[in-house]
A and B are shown apart, each in its own frame.
Chain A
Amino acid sequence: MTTISPPPAEVLEARKSLTQGQLPPWAQWSMVSACLVVGLLIGLTTGFSTALALVLGAVAALVVVPAVSWGVEGVRRAKDRLATLLVTLAFVLALLPLLSLLSTVVDRGRHRFDWKFLTDDMNRVVGEGGGAYHAIIGTLEITAAATIISVPIGVMCAVYLVEYGRGWLARSITLLVDVMTGIPSIVAGLFAFAFFSIFFGSGIRFGIGGAVALSLLMIPVVVRSVEEMLKLVPNELREASYALGVAKWLTVIRVVLRTAAAGIATGVTIAIARVIGETAPLLVIAGMATRTNYDLFDGRMTTLPVYIFNSNANPGARAEFGLERAWAAALTLVLIVLLLNLIARVISRVFALPTR
């Protein structure tokens, strides 16, 4: 019918040979390392700071690699290589704060990260010494209480969304749960304060109020992750259970929730890790104390994050000791959070559903 017209010149141009105009595979990354090394050398000899020298090296690489590629391989390849470098650079840039933060915390926190720090409180401590025992207890109790409140509500809400939810109610709950994950933590604290101060007056500060505030932040996280897990449970399992004559609620409890148990545990652990570092709401509703208070329902209760904040804001007569305590508490908190994240990964890895 129609014969096909010869291709435009540019198209033919682009394909003279399969191997023509190509940089060897090692070229890109050796050019990058060369730029970084040259940058470092210049930095060392001229007395620039190392960081600045590396930055200059990276910028040089961003110019040199595409330029060379443009010359040898043409503009398309040059753009491709520039994109690769930029994307890799973005990732490296994001890791820098993480590394810097972790090393700073370990470096400054290790001085006071000792047994005394973990077992003493701040009662009648003004200068040296003291510890964060009361804050650790406060953190554990308040977080545990928040978990006890959040998990049943969160799990049941997820069950509703996955197993029962239909129509506008389910849709709006889904949306609002998502919105709730974005509530500023300070607002959660203010809510708890506004709520309890109506009943107990505006001087009210107690641990359980902090737990309520944290629950507000924790529930949406639990709902989200449990929901994801429940959706992973194959429908065949539910149908198999119904076919055996098992009622729906028993199916949900004994088949669906049990199958998803590991995933739920992972999600809950992540949620705990998320709220255990919260400061703002506790600052508002749990207050600050120097003594160990074991009673959630009576009196001010310090948590580790508030302790850190306070040790920095009011380090005391000899500021260096207060700051040392702040960093040691930061190290403690970071260790707890990382441990929780590790536990979560281990749970999800070890007990993972054998899906595919």
Chain B
Amino acid sequence: MSKRIEASDLDIYYGKFRAVEQVNMTIEPRTVTALIGPSGCGKSTYLRSLNRMHEVIPGAYVEGKVVMDGEDLYGPGVDPVVVRRHIGMVFQRPNPFPTMSIYDNVIAGVKLNGGRLRKAALDEMVENTLRGANLWEEVKDRLGRPGSSLSGGQQQRLCIARAIATKPAVLLMDEPCSALDPISTLAIEDLMQQLKNDFTIVIVTHNMQQAARVSDKTGFFNIAGTGKPGKLIEFDDTSIIFGNPKEKATEDYVSGRFG
């Protein structure tokens, strides 16, 4: 299920502005990869370029390659809609569809794909997925309530459930815990550890302890100054990045001596 993603010589532009330059990174299947760095360094932009979500902003485009198991995501004739079906995403703030129930939120993606499943199969899928997202016990007797009736942490797990229900190969998470309290954060971190058995996970985080706790590999992004493009400074095993980084900038950042 989970797949390898290779970005090579990737430049990301917003119109004329080059936001990120020259990223080379191989993301292995069944791992959690964390992207850290100061605000505005392009880590979220890079993350969104992995499932072509950055194209939602007009004028955004990339140069270079992002290859998933041999197929270039930016190759000619590739439909971004199909890419996003392979690579799911969880956003910074929980965003369940407010007009849908918890149940409908979970199956939203499956329904899109034209899956005319029998009710029983759907029920089973919803239960499995919600169990997979560690949410089943909390919501099993109120599946018909709107998704927005849940707490923030529950909403975020609902969004994760919604993303994994379609069985993507890769799950991108853009600061998934930044709007959550510590207990909900812990729940999501536990969840990531389970999910990595099935998915390739890439997470952007501002929280270095979190990166150290959950990830196998860590990439550090930085910018030289405002208006300059963001760069991938160092990408290595998490233990190395936090224990014995090669670059001075990385060491300064992870030890809190940044700036």
Contacts and interface: CB of A to CB of B under 8 A. Distances in A.
Are these two chains actual partners, yes or no?
A: yes
B149 interface: no
Contacts of B79: 18-19, 22
A260 B79 CA distance: 45
B113 A4 contact: no
Contacts of B105: none
A2 B190 CA distance: 13
Interface string B159-171: 0000010110000
Contacts of B131: 1-2
A4 B116 contact: no
A2 B164 CA distance: 13
Given A18-B83, A18-B86, A76 B78 contact: no
Interface string A109-151: 0000000000000000000000000000000000000000000
* Interface size classification for chain B: 20 to 34
A18 B116 CA distance: 22
Contacts of A5: 124-125, 128
Interface string B41-80: 0000000000000000000000000001001010111110
A14 interface: yes
Interface in B116-132: 116-117, 121, 124-125, 128-129, 131-132
B9 to A, nearest CB: 20
A70 to B, nearest CB: 12
Contacts, number: 69
B71 A10 contact: no
A47 interface: no
B227 interface: no
Interface of A is mostly: loop
A18 B166 contact: no
Nearest to B68: A18
Interface residues of A, number: 21
A203 interface: no
Given A10-B117, A75-B114, A19 B75 contact: yes
Given A18-B73, A19-B77, A4 B115 contact: no
Interface centre among A3, A12, A17 (most CB of B within 10 A): A3
Contact of B125 (A1, A8, A22): A8
B128 to A, nearest CB: 5
Given A14-B113, A15-B85, A22-B79, A4 B166 contact: no
B194 A1 contact: yes
Contact of B129 (A4, A10, A22, A76): A4
A38 to B, nearest CB: 27
Contact of B78 (A3, A12, A14, A19): A19
B82 interface: yes
Interface in A1-44: 1-8, 10-12, 14-15, 17-19, 22, 24
Nearest to A75: B114
Interface string B97-117: 000000000000010111111
Contact of B86 (A3, A6, A15): A15
B73 A76 contact: no
B251 interface: no
Contacts of A7: 166-167
Contacts of A1: 131, 134, 194
A49 B242 CA distance: 76
A2 B132 contact: yes
A74 B75 CA distance: 21
A4 B82 contact: no
B128 A4 contact: yes
Nearest to B166: A11
Nearest to B198: A4
Contact of B115 (A11, A19, A24): A11
Contacts of A11: 110, 113, 115, 166-167
Interface in B175-223: 194, 197-198
30 contacts: A2-B132, A2-B194, A3-B197, A4-B128, A4-B129, A4-B164, A5-B124, A5-B128, A6-B167, A7-B166, A8-B110, A8-B115, A8-B117, A10-B110, A10-B117, A11-B167, A14-B85, A14-B113, A15-B85, A15-B86, A18-B73, A18-B79, A18-B82, A18-B83, A19-B71, A19-B75, A24-B77, A74-B114, A76-B112, A76-B114
Interface of B: 68, 71, 73, 75-79, 82-83, 85-86, 110, 112-117, 121, 124-125, 128-129, 131-132, 134, 164, 166-167, 194, 197-198
Given A4-B164, A76-B112, 5 more contacts: A1-B134, A5-B128, A8-B125, A18-B78, A18-B83
Interface of A: 1-8, 10-12, 14-15, 17-19, 22, 24, 74-76
